[in-house]
Amino acid sequence: MKKRLYLELENCIGCRSCLAACTQCGGHEERNRNYVYDVNPLVNRQTMPLMCLHCENPACARSCPAQAIQIHETGAVLSALVEKCIGCQNCTIACPYGIPKFDQEQNLMYKCDLCIDRTKDGIPPMCASVCPSNTLQWLTDEEIENKKKQFNLDNGKWVTSMPYLEGETNVKVNLPGILQGITKLF
Partner 1 sequence: MQAKAAVNQKTGNTLNNAFASHFAKSMFLSVTALAILSFIGTRMFTHVDLNLYGYMVGTIVFIGGFFYRFIAWGERPPTKLILKKGLKLLKRKSTPKTSVEHLATYNFIWNRGIYRWTQHVLIGWGCILSCFVTFPLVFGWMYFTMDDNGHYNIIAMGMKVMTVPADGIIANLSYNALNITAIMVIAGVCMALYRRLKNMQARAEQNFLYDFMPLYMLLLVSITGLALTFMNIFLHGAGQPAMSLIHQWSVIITLIYLPFGKLAHIPFRPMSVLARNYREHYAEQGMKECKVCGDQFVSSEQSKDVVDVLGVNDIEFKAKEGHHLAEMCLPCRRKYRIAQFSGFPTHEVKVKEANQNAKG
DSSP 50: E
According to CB under 8 A, which one of 13, 71, 74, 87 is a site residue for partner 1? 87
Q: In 3D, which of 125, 1, 143, 122 has the Cα closest to residue 53? A: 125
Is 96 an interacting residue with respect to partner 1 (CB under 8 A)? yes
Residue list 74-103, contact with ligand HEM (CB under 6 A): 82-83
146-169 as b/e: b if 16+ CB within 10 A: ebeeebeeeeeebebeeeebeeeb
24 dihedral zone (left: phi>0; alpha: psi -120 to 50; beta): alpha
Is 160 an interacting residue with respect to partner 1 (CB under 8 A)? no
How many angstroms separate the CA atoms of 167 and 158, rounded?
16
Residue list 65-84, contact with ligand SF4 (CB under 6 A): 65-66, 68-69, 77, 80
Is 36 an interacting residue with respect to partner 1 (CB under 8 A)? yes
Q: Can you tell me whether residue 48 is helix, strand or coil?
A: strand
Residue 176, preceding bond cis, omega within 30 degrees? Answer: no
Residues contributing to the site for partner 1 (CB under 8 A): 9, 16, 19-20, 22-23, 26-29, 32, 35-42, 46, 48, 50, 57, 59, 62-67, 70, 72, 78-79, 81-84, 86-90, 92-99, 103, 105-108, 113, 116-117, 164-167, 173, 175-176, 179-180
Residues contributing to the site for ligand SF4 (CB under 6 A): 52-55, 58-60, 63-66, 68-69, 77, 80, 85-91, 95, 97, 99-100, 109, 111
